[in-house]
Chains A and B, each alone.
Chain A
Amino acid sequence: MQASILVFPGSNCDRDVAIAFEKASGKKPAMIWHGDSTLPKSDIIVVPGGFSYGDYLRTGAMAAHSPIMGEVIAAAKKGVRVLGICNGFQILCETQLLPGVLLRNKTLKFICKTTTLKVENNDSIFTKAYKKGENGNYFADAETLKQLDGNGQVALRYTENPNGSANDIAGIFNKDRTILGLMPHPERANDSVLGSTDGAGMFKSIVENL
């Protein structure tokens, strides 16, 4: 299983998610600079959290137009799996690989707290039980929300919504369930000494199913 992790100027969870993949697969992920225009052969492409381009203009908006994203979109369309976490989720929405947008938190403040998630659909290479979380409030119009529910595209919901996201959504799939975007950080719940290993299930399930 070969993972490729994108690095944008301002990414800051790239190292953490690389460690999580290496721990699960025993193999170092390839770190791909945003300015590159070719992707190595990858089983999964990871768009990590952080503040790509300083969140300027709109979160994820500038990264979505980075040279490497054209390659990511082409690969995704061929069925290569894509995982976007936090700012990475925002970037995937901006590129329209996933429907909807991320708004500012209802409180307009950054939120860092541990949160419990409910796995809504475990019929994907990504999902097993996990927890933990952060910033960014998922929003989509009523019609899209209905479709997400109807198609089994809601991957994860908050049991106690910290940020005001629509229908308590914490993570969604594309229709084919080859792409997952989520706000919480599973890579931070991947080590018992850090307080939780509930995120490890996601990396384990990706490695076992790819």
Chain B
Amino acid sequence: MKTNIAEKNMPASFDLHKTAAEHGMKPDEVALMVKTLGRDPSLCELGIFSAMWSEHCSYKSSKVWLRKLPTTGDIVICGPGENAGVIDIGLGPNGEKLAAIFKIESHNHPSFIEPYQGAATGVGGILRDVFTMGARPIANLNALRYGDIKHPKTKQLLAGTVAGIGGYGNCMGIPTVAGEVNFHPSYNGNCLVNAMTVGVANQDKIFYAKAAGVGNPVCYVGSKTGRDGIKGASMSSAEFNDNAESQRPTVQVGDPFTEKLLLEACLELMATDAIVAIQDMGAAGLTSSSVEMASKGGLGMELILDDVPQRETGMNAYEMMISESQERMLMILKPGREAQAEAVFKKWDLDCVVIGKLTDTGRLVVKHKGNVEADIVVEPLVENAPQYNRPWEPTPKQAEVNAADYPLQGTLGAALETLLACPDLCSRRWIYEQYDCQVGADTIATGGDAGVVRLHGSKRGLAMTVDCTPRYCFADPVEGGKQAVAETWRNLTAVGAKPLAITDNMNFGNPEKPRIMGQFAGCVEGIAAACNALTYPVISGNVSLYNETKGEGILPTPVIGGVGMVEDVSKIARINAAREGDVVLLVGETKGHIGQSLYLRELHGKEIGTAPTVDLNAEKKNGDFVRALINAETVPCCHDVADGGLLVALADICLASNVGIALEQAENSAAYWFGEDQGRYIITIRAHQYNEQAIFDAAEKAGVEIEFLGFMSGQDIKLDDKPIASLATLRKAHEGTLPALMES
């Protein structure tokens, strides 16, 4: 075999710097690669280095900041660094120790280029991250952001991405139980598609990516390899310009049917003891899976690419190593278990082929057609990956807004109707009815503050939610980061769940701009502060940078996915459980903060002011107070006060429960009804269970602000006995926006 790899495998006219630049590598990174190798790379090696050192795989701009996040805790079994994070969720129905395994991941760039496939493969990728660890996925969630609702591309992106998410998740038979959607012009050129999967595994059957056992077979399973998704990791680590369309070939094509077979086959083989380690082939496909497994095990790996199942003819080593064809996994088997694995995968009509073995050389050696195409020492490939402590500047403070300068310009009812119909608050029915939310017959709640899914065969369940308020993060990254975490904590609390841990999806613009890096740094600081205060660790996550088009970045969007425990799913609080006669109370302090509120944006056309501050101490006290009331079955209906403020949250309850409300407040200022102060919940209590003295005493003892608002009553929202809006009018406005857009 040839040993002079570069000479053999590079075209004669090869210009290292030019080719490396086409792979998104900077000149200093090329120099570092040559130094690491001790020679020039072959084309295959260049492909491997550029993929492993891409922002997407190496987290080179974000790593120094991500270290600041709290990632440990009593319940954490495995924090960031594996395919997904793992927490202890106690005992299952048969006394077995259970773990929840979850992660969120972005598929932003591909979804903008090819909405259906981009979003579908986003769901497919995150599902694989979870089931590769031995978990059966029990739910999907998604966080979506699109441009201005009037922008010509928005409708197509929304239709395509929603169809793609539904198409993949529905076919897999995994219910989609919660999500969030925002519209803002900053996403006109970069929509965001963040997909989260929650799975459940037996703690004794969790699989990791750490290779072990020199000589053990390396086994390729799943779909065949094609040329799709080549350079995907590099593509998603760069800004868009005008030619985003021309990047369509870099988007992978998904096949949920094959993934469903892969899921069942993997879980079937995992039930035996044949597997040593397993890792899905996500971004950078065979490259990242082989390098990461070898690196985690401190071993070498030899791959014979001739044996890789191929969908196309004439593929070379470079193409096979960086293809991002979907629905594939790499496994290390125990010696002699090849036939057992093959039998399981054959039953499910999937390929299962030994393509190499583990070695003690510490090198990744890739052979094809009798040639050595790559020969790289693994440790420096991983350890020498560039890391940048990029320059950053703090985000300047915004000026406070004086609420008195922005009074109501019409009636309170008209303002409420406008807000309920606005793109960020209107009904998401057009979207969620395309998702199967019930398959599995364990979905306890959807459409409220958090989705709740029962642990199969048990009365316990997991609550889950995804949240972020990007306009707050833009105005004040630290408060915005805190708020994103606090809102998930609040949403889990609002159904009665005990919040356990989070996963984060950091969507930002170009990190080479100090202003953007400052947003990142600020959001991380806020997230860390909230996680620490709420004992709510980060167990997994994903970073998506370069969300910019023609130099315009998105609003900073650190999406948080939160998971909590429900001890008895029959006792959760629901947004639609308010009944005629219920007493309605507000927990938490109302100051009337209208800076960055939707009221200012939708009624006055202003996106100004400071973000509301999150008092983490009050947050915890208020949440613990509300959760205890729900768990004691005192509060059947609860909803947190978020976007749009108090009156919008009340209207949400009225519309969901189909009963009006008679408010007995003297207040009629916009700041009171539409201000977005944090840490607040609306709760209702059945009239016959209501003990005013007891609940106000308990609140005082807990140091919690509580306020009487009124009674559920009739079919109108009334203030001081005067109707301000009928539910019928509000419902029409709330339900009309998305159908009008999508069916026009």
User: Chain A residues in contact with chain B, CB under 8 A?
Assistant: 9-10, 12-13, 15-16, 19-20, 35, 49-51, 53-56, 109-113, 134, 185, 187-188, 190-191, 193-194
Decide yes or no: A112 and B441 within 8 Å by CB, A51-B260, A193-B454 being known contacts.
no
What is the distance, in angstroms, from A32's C-beta to the closest C-beta of chain B? 14
Q: Is the CB of A190 within 8 A of B441?
A: yes
Q: Is the CB of B260 within 8 A of A10?
A: yes
Q: Is the CB of A191 within 8 A of B441?
A: yes
Q: Is the CB of A9 within 8 A of B433?
A: no
Name the A residues within 8 Å of B166 (CB-CB).
109-110
Considering the complex, give the chain A residue whose CB is closest to the CB of B259.
A54
Decide yes or no: A193 and B257 within 8 Å by CB, A110-B166, A111-B434, A112-B436 being known contacts.
no
Decide yes or no: A10 and B171 within 8 Å by CB, A51-B257, A113-B433 being known contacts.
yes
10 nearest A-B pairs in the assembled complex, by CB-CB distance: A12-B173, A54-B257, A16-B441, A51-B171, A188-B438, A112-B436, A110-B434, A193-B570, A10-B257, A188-B441
In the assembled complex, B255 has its CB within 8 A of some CB on chain A: yes
In the complex, how many residues of chain B place their beta carbon closer than 8 angstroms to a beta carbon of chain A? Answer: 32
Decide yes or no: A12 and B433 within 8 Å by CB, A19-B441, A194-B441 being known contacts.
no
Considering the complex, give the chain A residue whose CB is closest to the CB of B436.
A112
User: Chain B residues in contact with chain A, CB under 8 A?
Assistant: 163, 166-167, 170-173, 255-258, 260-261, 347-349, 432-444, 454, 569-570
Q: Is the CB of B437 within 8 A of A55?
A: no
From the candidates A49, A51, A109, A193, name the one contacting B444 in the complex (CB within 8 A): A193
Q: Is the CB of A194 within 8 A of B257?
A: no
What is the distance, in angstroms, from B585's C-beta to the closest C-beta of chain A? 26
From the candidates B170, B256, B443, B444, name the one contacting A110 in the complex (CB within 8 A): B170
Name the A residues within 8 Å of B436 (CB-CB).
110, 112, 134
Among A9, A13, A134, max chain B CB count under 10 A is at A9
Write 25 A-B pairs (CB below 8 A) sorted by A numbering.
A9-B349, A10-B260, A10-B261, A12-B260, A12-B439, A15-B440, A16-B439, A19-B441, A20-B441, A50-B173, A54-B255, A54-B258, A54-B260, A55-B171, A109-B163, A109-B433, A109-B434, A110-B170, A111-B434, A112-B432, A112-B434, A113-B433, A193-B444, A193-B569, A194-B438
Name the B residues within 8 Å of A191 (CB-CB).
441
Name the A residues within 8 Å of B444 (CB-CB).
193-194
Name the B residues within 8 Å of A110 (CB-CB).
166-167, 170, 434-436
Q: Is the CB of B438 within 8 A of A112?
A: yes
Name the B residues within 8 Å of A56 (CB-CB).
257
* Bound-complex Cα distance A49 to B440 (A): 11
* Bound-complex Cα distance A185 to B170 (A): 14
Among B163, B256, B261, B438, max chain A CB count under 10 A is at B438
Name the B residues within 8 Å of A134 (CB-CB).
436
Decide yes or no: A9 and B348 within 8 Å by CB, A50-B173, A110-B434 being known contacts.
yes
From the candidates A12, A50, A55, A112, name the one contacting B435 in the complex (CB within 8 A): A112
Q: Is the CB of A9 within 8 A of B257?
A: yes
Name the A residues within 8 Å of B349 (CB-CB).
9
Considering the complex, give the chain A residue whose CB is closest to the CB of B257.
A54
Name the A residues within 8 Å of B454 (CB-CB).
193
* Bound-complex Cα distance A190 to B438 (A): 12
* Bound-complex Cα distance A191 to B440 (A): 12
* Bound-complex Cα distance A51 to B570 (A): 31
Name the A residues within 8 Å of B435 (CB-CB).
110, 112
* Bound-complex Cα distance A185 to B261 (A): 23
Considering the complex, give the chain A residue whose CB is closest to the CB of B443.
A194
What is the distance, in angstroms, from A110's C-beta to the closest C-beta of chain B? 5
Decide yes or no: A112 and B437 within 8 Å by CB, A193-B454, A194-B443 being known contacts.
yes
What is the distance, in angstroms, from B303's C-beta to the closest C-beta of chain A? 29
What is the distance, in angstroms, from A202's C-beta to the closest C-beta of chain B? 14
From the candidates B167, B172, B255, B569, name the one contacting A12 in the complex (CB within 8 A): B172
Known: A54-B171, A190-B441. 13 other contacts (CB 8 A): A9-B260, A10-B171, A12-B260, A15-B440, A49-B439, A51-B170, A51-B171, A54-B255, A109-B433, A110-B167, A112-B438, A194-B438, A194-B441
What is the distance, in angstroms, from A185's C-beta to the closest C-beta of chain B? 7
Considering the complex, give the chain A residue whose CB is closest to the CB of B167.
A110
Decide yes or no: A185 and B260 within 8 Å by CB, A9-B349, A12-B173, A110-B166 being known contacts.
no
Considering the complex, give the chain A residue whose CB is closest to the CB of B172.
A12
Name the B residues within 8 Å of A113 (CB-CB).
433
From the candidates A35, A55, A112, name the one contacting B433 in the complex (CB within 8 A): A112
* Bound-complex Cα distance A186 to B405 (A): 56
Name the A residues within 8 Å of B172 (CB-CB).
12
* Bound-complex Cα distance A110 to B256 (A): 15
What is the distance, in angstroms, from B93's C-beta to the closest C-beta of chain A? 13
Name the B residues within 8 Å of A19 (CB-CB).
441
From the candidates A20, A53, A54, A112, name the one contacting B256 in the complex (CB within 8 A): A54
Name the B residues within 8 Å of A190 (CB-CB).
441
* Bound-complex Cα distance A109 to B170 (A): 12
* Bound-complex Cα distance A190 to B441 (A): 9
What is the distance, in angstroms, from B280's C-beta to the closest C-beta of chain A? 20
What is the distance, in angstroms, from B433's C-beta to the closest C-beta of chain A? 5
Name the A residues within 8 Å of B260 (CB-CB).
9-10, 12, 51, 54
Name the A residues within 8 Å of B438 (CB-CB).
112, 185, 188, 194
Name the B residues within 8 Å of A35 (CB-CB).
347
* Bound-complex Cα distance A193 to B261 (A): 30
Q: Is the CB of B434 within 8 A of A13?
A: no
Considering the complex, give the chain A residue whose CB is closest to the CB of B430.
A109
* Bound-complex Cα distance A191 to B438 (A): 12
* Bound-complex Cα distance A20 to B441 (A): 10
Decide yes or no: A53 and B440 within 8 Å by CB, A10-B171, A111-B434, A193-B454 being known contacts.
no
